[in-house]
Amino acid sequence: MKVLKFGGSSIADASRIQKVAEIIKAEVKRGPFVLVLSAMKGITNLLIQAALLAEQGDRDYLTFISRIKATHATAVKVLFSEQKGKPVLHDLEQLHGELKDFLHGVELIRECTARILDLVMSFGERLSCMLMTHYLNECGVHALFIDARDLIVTDDAYGNASVIYSQTYTRIKKYVGGIKQVPVITGFIAATENKVTTTLGRNGSDFTASLIGAGLDAESIEIWTDVNGVLSTDPRFVKNAFTIRELSYEEAMELSYFGAEVIHPKTMIPAVDKNIPIIIKNTFNPEQAGTIIKNKIKKHTAAISGIACIENIALLNIEGGGMVGIPGMAARIFSILASAALNIIMISQGSSEHSICLGLKQNEALEAVRSLNKELKKELESKTINEFVLIEELVIIAVIGDNMRGTPGISGKLFSALGKARINVLAIAQGSSERNISFVIHKKDSARALTTVHKAFFTTAKAANHGSG
Ligand code: ASP
Ligand code: MG
């Protein structure tokens, strides 16, 4: 049993849906599998915009509903004859009607809570899966629509709910296990124990696929998307970036966290649990082998596996003679930022304890300074700490790979390459997993730094069959 997940861009319109159906028809001959789908491309965003307009009492939300409706109806017109399209349109129309009623409710109450927004967003996946189920049956593949809200149980953290694994796996086994048809399961959406709709976070359908795979003890989880796999680095900056053939779960998690947006980072959790390989495949180039993410990967000669880049970063420097040897200062700083819901991306502190340096998203940095100024007023007045220094227009580059562990000389090679290219490094962090060295540089140096590091580590490695494509 396999799981195949297709993302929004793979089912963006009728011709793409036909491509997906071809892939599925070929799969039917190979053995049993389950499908997981995202919403059609752009639909989740339209749903969110519609909800926000309705909340403001702006009746323009109706235009957004019409656009959502038109996207699906246009696909139906191409995929079905007029006669056969009727029951499909009827089913879709029912969902659209429901959506319109809910949004009318939002318009009247002028409030769209996170809970309501999850319900509104759920229509994207319900519509796409309804449409695909009909189309597969039309193509002679016996398919069955399944609403993941009956399978995936979460807490009530709307917008980014946490999965309750044991209940979820039990339900998946019970409700999907014995199905003879091809199950077409809605990605992204879930429900609490009390059957209130939740979602798994933006791009969460990958995670759904992995949960279904783990629940069914699948042999593999295929994530079909619009690129050949995980790339060695950002191709916008480095033109000879290549597709990585194999990654360990940990490497994939690090890379996806650090901006290689091919796969949702949480996807790895259920797969690791059950040791199921995840394969990234390209819907528009299915012959490509893609990237396989699994437990034990083949030995490769490159010291690193990939280089990620996170843009729009600011560094916040917290310095002061009074910080030395005083326990709890870091804890206070972190809890101040946590209470303001600000996310710290990178931390570096020298052993002199004289300064702590935090990497934050640019758009959260000013707020961070404001909260710290407010909460650490006394320390600032008594000059225990100096005024905060904010440096903006930066990027974090993360060099990632299991091979770095216990291998001396990697940071030497990395920083001497950067030094030779005269790239100034503002801060450095390495976790003790030794799987990731992150450093901060000025935005203007990003392309040069990525090219330099890519060249330093990959020129010979690619020849040694680490990559393809
Ligand atoms: N449709 C959802 C989103 O756009 C989930 C997904 O695409 O995976 O975030
Ligand atoms: Mg996606």
Question: Averaging pLDDT over each range in 115-124, 349-358, 403-412, which range is the top one?
Answer: 115-124
For residue 326, is pLDDT > 50? yes
Asked if 171 and 48 sit in the same domain, the reply is yes
Instruction: Work out how many domains the chain is built from and give that number.
Output: 2
Asked if 201 and 347 sit in the same domain, the reply is no
CATH code for position 439: 3.30.2130.10
Asked if 211 and 312 sit in the same domain, the reply is no
Q: 248 lies in a domain?
A: no
Residue 372 has a pLDDT of 96
Q: 404 lies in a domain?
A: yes
Distance 71 CA to ligand 2 centre (A): 19
- Residue 460: pLDDT band with limits 50, 70, 90: low
- Residue 462: pLDDT band with limits 50, 70, 90: low
* 71 pocket-lining for ligand 1 (C-beta < 6 Å): no
Q: 289 lies in a domain?
A: no
pLDDT tens-digit profile of 10-41? 999 999 999 999 999 999 999 999 999 999 99
Asked if 209 and 324 sit in the same domain, the reply is no
Distance 341 CA to ligand 2 centre (A): 25
Q: 270 lies in a domain?
A: no
Of the ligands numbered here, which is closest to the C-alpha atom of 280? 2
CATH code for position 134: 3.40.1160.10
* 44 pocket-lining for ligand 1 (C-beta < 6 Å): yes
Nearest ligand 1 atom to alpha carbon 7: 7
User: What's the whole-model pTM score?
Assistant: 0.89
Asked if 114 and 218 sit in the same domain, the reply is yes
Of the ligands numbered here, which is closest to the C-alpha atom of 37? 1
Residue 152 has a pLDDT of 98
* 187 pocket-lining for ligand 1 (C-beta < 6 Å): yes
Asked if 221 and 310 sit in the same domain, the reply is no
Q: 455 lies in a domain?
A: yes
Q: 211 lies in a domain?
A: yes
Residue 134: give the domain boundaries. 2-226
* 297 pocket-lining for ligand 1 (C-beta < 6 Å): no
Residue 327 has a pLDDT of 79
Of the ligands numbered here, which is closest to the C-alpha atom of 188? 1
Asked if 187 and 328 sit in the same domain, the reply is no
Residue 408 has a pLDDT of 87
* 8 pocket-lining for ligand 1 (C-beta < 6 Å): yes
Residue 146 has a pLDDT of 98
Q: What is the mean pLDDT of the chain?
A: 93
Nearest ligand 1 atom to alpha carbon 188: 5
Q: 242 lies in a domain?
A: no
- Residue 467: pLDDT band with limits 50, 70, 90: low
pLDDT tens-digit profile of 362-394? 999 999 999 999 999 999 999 989 999 999 999
Tokens of 255: 């890379």
Q: Which of 177, 200, 226 is the last residue of a domain?
A: 226
Residue 433 has a pLDDT of 73
For residue 463, is pLDDT > 70? no
Q: Which of 192, 226, 260 is the last residue of a domain?
A: 226
Q: Which of 204, 226, 248 is the last residue of a domain?
A: 226
- Residue 455: pLDDT band with limits 50, 70, 90: very high
For residue 461, is pLDDT > 70? no
* 414 pocket-lining for ligand 1 (C-beta < 6 Å): no
Asked if 199 and 342 sit in the same domain, the reply is no
Residue 35 has a pLDDT of 98
Asked if 15 and 160 sit in the same domain, the reply is yes
- Residue 129: pLDDT band with limits 50, 70, 90: very high
